[in-house]
A and B are shown apart, each in its own frame.
Chain A
Amino acid sequence: MYPRSFHYHRAGSLKEAVSMLGQLGEGAKFLAGGQSLIPLLKLRFANPEHLVDLNFIPDTSFIKEDSGAFHFGAMTRHAEIEHSALAKRIPVLHDCAAGIADVQVRNRGTIGGSLAEADPSGDWANALITLDTIVHCLGPDGARTIPLKDFIKDAYTTALAHDELVTEIEVKIPPKGSGGAYLAFKRTAPVYPSASAAVQLTMAGDVCEDAAIALGCVGLTAIRATEVEAALRGKSLNDNLNDKTIGTAAEFARAAADPQTDMRGSADYKRQLVVALVKRAIQIAARRARGEQVEGAHLYA
Chain B
Amino acid sequence: MPESMPETATVKIEKIAVSISVNGKPCARQVEPRMLLVEFLREACDLTGTHVGCDTTYCGACTVLMNGLAVKSCTMFAVQADGSEITTVEGLERDGKLHPIQQAFGDSYGLQCGYCTPGLMLSTHQLLSENPAPSEKEIRKAIAGNTCRCTGYMNVFKAIELAGQNMKGA
Q: Which of A8-58 contact B (CB under 8 A)?
A: 8, 10, 31, 34-35, 38-39, 41-43, 47, 49, 51, 53, 55
> Of A41, A43, A103, which contacts B126 at CB under 8 A?
A103
A41→B8 CA distance, assembly (Å): 14
A31→B127 CA distance, assembly (Å): 28
Q: Which of B41-67 contact A (CB under 8 A)?
A: 55-60, 63, 66
Interface residue tally on A, bucketed by range:
20 to 34
Interface residue tally on B, bucketed by range:
35 or more
**Contact A104:B72 (CB < 8 A) given known A8-B16, A189-B145:** yes
- Whether, in the assembled complex, B150 has its beta carbon less than 8 Å from a beta carbon of chain A, the answer is no
- Whether, in the assembled complex, B133 has its beta carbon less than 8 Å from a beta carbon of chain A, the answer is no
The answer to whether B70 touches A103, judged by C-beta atoms less than 8 angstroms apart, is: yes
Q: Give the contact stretch, choosing among B30-38, B90-98, B151-159.
A: B30-38
A234 to chain B, nearest CB (A): 38
The answer to whether A107 touches B69, judged by C-beta atoms less than 8 angstroms apart, is: yes
- Whether, in the assembled complex, B123 has its beta carbon less than 8 Å from a beta carbon of chain A, the answer is yes
18 A-B pairs besides A6-B33, A34-B76, A39-B57 with CB distance below 8 A are A3-B34, A5-B33, A6-B11, A7-B11, A7-B13, A8-B16, A34-B75, A34-B77, A39-B56, A42-B74, A102-B60, A102-B145, A102-B146, A104-B60, A104-B123, A107-B69, A190-B59, A190-B60
Residue ranges of A at the interface with B (Cβ–Cβ < 8 Å)? 1-8, 10, 31, 34-35, 38-39, 41-43, 47, 49, 51, 53, 55, 79, 101-105, 107-108, 188-191
